[in-house]
Structure 1
Amino acid sequence: MNLRENAMAIYNGEQPDFYGDLMAAVEFIIDPLLERDALIPQDGKEYIDSWGTVKVFLPGAPGAHPHLTPENIVIKDIEKWEEQISVPSIDAFDYSKVRDQAASIDREKKLVCFFCPVGIFERSHFLMGMENALINYLEYPDEMKAMLRVITDHKIAYIKKIGEECHPDIIFYHDDWGTKQNLFLPPSVWREIIKPLQKEIADVIHECGMIYMHHADCICQPIVEDMVEIGVDIWQGVIAQNDIVEIQRITEGKLAMVGGIDAPKIDIENITEEEIRAEVRRAIDTYCPAGRFYPSIPNAVCYREWNNSIVMDELESYGRKFAEEHPIQKTQSI
């Protein structure tokens, strides 16, 4: 099997040649909006994205982040959000690069993946700050619903546009809904405000003939059944702080998952090679028997180069050994 075939075998609950990270089988298409907003100089200076959010890219940081103060937040008064928000146009970009990139990828060997960052929850706190956002979700739910309606409509229009321009195999949608301890919002609030809009986004992804992969490297266990109901096909970024085995049980194989290796446990100094390899093997042994699981570092890589090289080597060798020694007797496809 080539990388695409192997990845799709796992996705379909069929016998793969090896168990490994799905991301090895994808080729990313550059997102014009991301290119405009996130690919800023790593100089620590302030830059303003297309929604008006101030961002900085600190030297040595893994990426650009919002740099919000009471003075520079976009939404200063949630009751007047309509006067303050400015929605960027999706027609302002040159999509020729997107089309050319997609055309250059051999779809028989790789999956074409479109990275769609800053989901509707993240956009809400990018616009007003995390503390304000969390308070407003509880105290001003109607205003938040109305504002998120506008943000969702923009997301839907953009996904449709990307689908028309280059038809990716996967939409890699990014929206962290929690921390390593819990969800940001109470599940009841998430279900009332986020879930219905997220269902619309999922429906559009599927109507365009694409797989919906949702990145959230955080606790999502309280809402995993909702994720299945919404139509999330793949949850990427599954951290070991979730009870992954229990999630596999309650979702009944309907949610493919990527992650499971406890990166903070092994992406440290003064750790032995065997300790790193043991964590990779633990993840494969524990989560792959249920099927539809891609063992990986939830946030893609260890930041320490040596540690990461050991993880990748063990995934390659033990992931293949496990597949050979644990053949799937019958299809687990959903």
Structure 2
Amino acid sequence: MTPRENAMAVYNREQPDYYGDLMDAIVLLPDPVLMGDLPPQDGKIHPDSWGVPYEWKPGAPGPHPYITPENVVVKDIENWDRYVKVPSLENLDWGPAQKVAEGVDRKEKFVGIMFGGGLFERSHFLLGMENALMDYLEYPDEMKELLSVIKDYKIAYIRQMTEKVHPDIIFYHDDWGSKQNVFLPPTVWRDIIKPLQQEISDAIHDCGMIYMHHADCICQPLVTDMVDLGIDIWQGVIAQNDIVKIQQITEGKLAMVGGVDGPAIDIDGISEEAIRQEVRRAFDEYCPAGRFYPSIPNGVCFREWNNKIYRDELEKYGRRYAQEHPVT
């Protein structure tokens, strides 16, 4: 099987050659919005296309918003439209993405686009986390207006990326929680975010793409809603969720990627066997229900030796598990 065929076998509950990280079967394109918003790794503050200040410190794995009361974009949610300038999607340079896409054999692998800054994330990027959480509770109508504008931008971009490179999978990012719980009360999330997310999901599927939602956090209170939305794959499932219970309550309708407790094995002084044991645990606990791709939710161990052991066990045990547990 090709990596793509093997991934689809797991997705369709057919016999794969091996189990493992779905991301290994996807080639992510350097799309122009993502690359244009990527700040230099110089430790200085740089605004993204929405005007949100970002900082990428030398040695850090990635950039992060650096929001203060002085530089926050939206200073008053009741007058949000005075502050928000929606980025233009005209004249984007799709050349690099098209070149990569043309070099992918789509029988071998999927073509994907990483689509960051979902509705919730973009809202707290613009408002600051504390203000956003309060505004969701105190100003729901204004938040709906703001998120509706963000939603329209995202749908327009989804349609443009379809025209330019037609990805197989959209890797949509929106962390809805922490390692302890969801950020918003589920009733608030369902009232404000869910209807708009439904429009985004519909646009993804209308364009013929698989909707893979990244959220490496607790999403357990929202998983039946994720099924309602038509999310095809949840990538980033951390072990702090009760994954077995989620598989039961979603009745297998939500394929999942993750389960290996990355922070638990990405530490100094851990033994090789402890790393391998954690990888095997994820296979043994979550694969029996099907439609599960064991992996570290954020993709890698940042320590080179730890990652080497993790990847070795993922490959070896993934093949062994497939052989010893045939799909009937």
TM-score (norm 1): 0.97
Q: Which residue identity lines up with residue 56 of structure 1 in the other structure?
A: E
Look up the match of 2:63: 64
Q: Runs of 5+ in structure 1 lacking a partner? A: 330-334
Q: Deviations over 1:171-217 (max 9, x none)?
A: 00000000000000000000000101111101000000000000000
Q: Which residue identity lines up with residue 294 of structure 2 in the other structure?
A: P
Task: Map 1:93-242 to 2 at 5 A.
Answer: 93-242=92-241
SS in 1 for 2:5: helix
Alpha-carbon deviation of 1:128? 1.1
Q: Which residue identity lines up with residue 15 of structure 1 in the other structure?
A: Q
Rounded Cα–Cα distance in structure 1 between residues aligned with 2:137 and 2:208: 36
Rounded Cα–Cα distance in structure 1 between residues aligned with 2:230 and 2:218: 18
Rounded Cα–Cα distance in structure 2 between residues aligned with 1:167 and 1:13: 26
SS in 2 for 1:299: coil
Contact 2:74 2:127 in 1 (8 A): yes
Rounded Cα–Cα distance in structure 2 between residues aligned with 1:274 and 1:297: 17
Contact 2:31 2:96 in 1 (8 A): no
Look up the match of 2:85: 86
Look up the match of 1:31: 31
Rounded Cα–Cα distance in structure 2 between residues aligned with 1:91 and 1:102: 21
Look up the match of 1:286: 285
Correspondence 1:248 to 2:255:
no
Q: Runs of 5+ in structure 2 lacking a partner? A: none
- RMSD between superposed Cα atoms in Å: 0.7
Look up the match of 1:53: 52
Correspondence 1:11 to 2:11:
yes
Rounded Cα–Cα distance in structure 1 between residues aligned with 2:14 and 2:97: 32
Q: Which residue identity lines up with residue 258 of structure 2 in the other structure?
A: G
Q: Deviations over 1:254-300 (max 9, x none)?
A: 10000000111111011100000000000000000110000000000
Q: Deviations over 1:23-48 (max 9, x none)?
A: 1001011121111112x211110101
Alpha-carbon deviation of 1:96? 2.4
SS in 1 for 2:294: strand
Rounded Cα–Cα distance in structure 1 between residues aligned with 2:105 and 2:50: 34
Rounded Cα–Cα distance in structure 1 between residues aligned with 2:181 and 2:144: 22
Rounded Cα–Cα distance in structure 2 between residues aligned with 1:169 and 1:11: 14
Alpha-carbon deviation of 1:105? 0.7
SS in 1 for 2:90: helix
Rounded Cα–Cα distance in structure 2 between residues aligned with 1:248 and 1:102: 34
Look up the match of 2:315: 316
SS in 2 for 1:151: helix
Rounded Cα–Cα distance in structure 1 between residues aligned with 2:60 and 2:192: 32
Q: Which residue identity lines up with residue 173 of structure 1 in the other structure?
A: Y
Rounded Cα–Cα distance in structure 1 between residues aligned with 2:10 and 2:162: 24
Rounded Cα–Cα distance in structure 1 between residues aligned with 2:234 and 2:124: 22
Rounded Cα–Cα distance in structure 1 between residues aligned with 2:95 and 2:34: 15
Look up the match of 2:259: 260
Q: Which residue identity lines up with residue 194 of structure 2 in the other structure?
A: K
Contact 2:181 2:219 in 1 (8 A): yes
Q: Point out the more displaced range, 95-104 or 44-53.
A: 95-104
Look up the match of 1:332: none
Contact 2:31 2:94 in 1 (8 A): no
Q: Deviations over 1:45-92 (max 9, x none)?
A: 010111010111011111111111111111000000011100001113
SS in 2 for 1:307: helix
Correspondence 1:302 to 2:298:
no
SS in 1 for 2:211: strand
SS in 1 for 2:212: strand
Q: Which residue identity lines up with residue 238 of structure 1 in the other structure?
A: V
Q: Which residue identity lines up with residue 152 of structure 1 in the other structure?
A: K
Q: Deviations over 1:201-247 (max 9, x none)?
A: 01000000000000000000000000000010000000000000000
Alpha-carbon deviation of 1:14? 1.0
TM-score (norm 2): 0.99
Rounded Cα–Cα distance in structure 1 between residues aligned with 2:235 and 2:209: 16
Contact 2:279 2:314 in 1 (8 A): yes
SS in 2 for 1:55: strand
Alpha-carbon deviation of 1:13? 1.4
